[in-house]
Amino acid sequence: MEPTTTPTMGNKTAAARRLRTGSIDYYHSLFGNPYFLIMAVIFIGGKISANLYMGAKVSTALRSGVLGFSLYIVACWFIHLSTMNTCVHKRTEATEKPYVIISWVIATGLFITLHVLQANQIIGFQIPLWHQLNTAWTNLVHALSRDYAWITGTGLIGWPYLLLYVFIPSLIARKHRLPLPRLIGMENSATTLPFVLLFALAYVVLQGVTAKHLFTLFAVIVWPAFGEEFLYRGLLQPTLMSITKRPVTAIVLTSLLFAASHIPTYVLAGSGVVVLRWSALLPIMLTSFFWGYGYYRTGVLWPWILMHAISNLVTI
Q: Render pLDDT for 255-268 as a digit per residue (tens, 0 to 9).
A: 999 999 999 999 99
Q: Render pLDDT for 242-291 as a digit per residue (tens, 0 to 9).
A: 999 999 999 999 999 999 999 999 999 888 899 999 999 999 999 999 99
Structural domain spans, the chain: 91-313
End-to-end CA distance of the chain: 56
Alpha helices in the chain (DSSP H): 7-31, 34-53, 58-82, 99-119, 130-147, 162, 168-175, 193-207, 211-220, 227-228, 237-244, 247-260, 263, 274-279, 281-298, 302-313
286: nearest Cα among 90, 23, 47: 47
| DSSP states of 124-141 | ----TTHHHHHHHHHHHH
Tell me what pLDDT residue 9 has. 62
More reliable by pLDDT, 125 or 79: 79
Q: Which residues contact 241 (CB under 8 A, 6 or more apart)?
A: 91, 92, 247, 250, 251, 296
Tell me what pLDDT residue 92 has. 47
| Residue 4 predicted with pLDDT over 70 | no
241: nearest Cα among 102, 92, 134, 128: 92
| Residue 218 predicted with pLDDT over 50 | yes
| Residue 91 predicted with pLDDT over 60 | no
Tell me what pLDDT residue 55 has. 94
d(CA 222, CA 289): 21
> Mean pLDDT over residues 203-216, rounded?
89
